Amino acid sequence: MHQTHHCRTLFISDTHLGTADCQAELLLEFLQSTSCETLYLVGDIIDLWQLKSAIYWPRIMNDIVCELVSKANSGTQVIYIPGNHDELLRDFVGTDFNGIQIKLEDTHLTLKGERLLVLHGDALDDTVRTYRWTEALGSNLYDVALAISRTYNRICKRLGYNYWSFAAYIKYKFKNAVIFIDKFEAAAAHLAHRRGYAGVICGHIHHPNNCQYDSVKYYNTGDWVEHCSALAEDLEGNLRVIDWLQMRQLTASDTPASQKPQRLRAA
Ligand SMILES: [Mn+2]
Ordered structural domains, the chain, with CATH: 5-263 (3.60.21.10)
Q: What's the rounded Cα separation, in Å, for the pair 39 and 173?
A: 33
Q: 135 vs 198, which has greater pLDDT? A: 198
Quote the ligand 1 centre to 132 CA distance (angstroms): 9
What integer pLDDT is reported at residue 36 of this predicted model? 97
Q: What is the pLDDT of residue 33?
A: 96
Confidence tier at 137 by pLDDT (50, 70, 90): low
Question: Mean per-residue pLDDT for 121-136?
Answer: 70
**Ligand 1: distance of its center to the CA of 235 in Å?**
29
**Taking residues 81-91, what's their average pLDDT?**
95
Count Cβ neighbours within 10 Å for each residue of 176-187 and write b for 16 or more, e otherwise.
ebeebbebbbbb
Decide if pLDDT at 174 tops 80. Answer: no
Mean pLDDT, the chain, integer: 87
Q: What spacing in Å lies between the alpha carbon of 225 and ligand 1's midpoint?
A: 12
- What was the pLDDT predicted at 165? 76
What is the 89 CA–ligand 1 centroid distance (Å)?
Answer: 13
Least confident window among 64-73, 94-103, 154-163, 197-206: 154-163
29 C-alpha to ligand 1 centroid (Å): 23
- What Cα–Cα distance (Å) separates residue 182 from each residue in 15, 119, 176, 177, 214? 22, 18, 10, 9, 14
Ligand 1 center from residue 155 Cα (angstroms):
28
Q: What's the CA-to-centroid distance between 201 and ligand 1, angstroms?
A: 13
CA of 260 to the centre of ligand 1 (A): 37
Task: Note the pLDDT of residue 261.
Answer: 44
Order of strands, sheet of 106-109, starting from the edge strand that comes earlier in the sequence: 106-109, 115-118, 199-202, 216-220, 209-213
| Residue of 172 and 15 predicted with greater confidence | 15
Dist. CA 177 → ligand 1 center (Å): 15
Amino acid 265: pLDDT = 44
d(CA 254, CA 248): 10
* Position 152 confidence tier, pLDDT thresholds 50, 70, 90: confident
Separation of 239 CA from ligand 1 center, angstroms?
22
Q: Does 215 or 163 have the greater pLDDT score?
A: 215
Q: How far is CA 244 from CA 29, 31, 47, 153, 157, in A?
A: 9, 10, 21, 17, 17
Cα separation, 78 vs 151, whole angstroms: 34
Span 184-188, mean pLDDT? 94
- Where are the strands (E) in the chain, listed by range? 5-12, 34-41, 77-80, 96-97, 100-102, 106-109, 115-118, 199-202, 209-213, 216-220, 229-233, 239-243, 262-263
The predicted pLDDT at position 196 comes to 98
| Per-residue model confidence (pLDDT) at position 177 | 76
123 in Cβ contact with 117 (< 8 Å): no
| Residue 32 or 254, more confident | 32
Query: Side chain identity at 73, as an amino acid letter?
Result: N
Q: Ligand 1: distance of its center to the CA of 3 in Å?
A: 31
Instruction: Please tell me the predicted confidence (pLDDT) of residue 132.
Output: 57
The tally of CA atoms less than 13 A away on the side-chain side of residue 45 is 23
Residue 254 Cα to ligand 1 midpoint, Å, equals: 36
Selection from 171, 93, 108 nearest residue 137 by Cα: 171
Q: How far is the CA of 46 from the centre of ligand 1 (A)?
A: 11
d(CA 16, CA 25): 13
Region 43-59: mean pLDDT is 92
> How many angstroms is it from 122 CA to the middle of ligand 1?
6
The confidence score (pLDDT) of residue 259 equals 45
* C-alpha 87, offset from chain centre: 16
What is the DSSP code (8-state) at residue 237? S
Query: How many angstroms separate the alpha carbon of residue 162 from the centre of ligand 1?
Result: 26
What average pLDDT score do residues 151-169 get?
A: 76
Closest by CA to 201, choosing from 41, 71, 31, 28, is 41
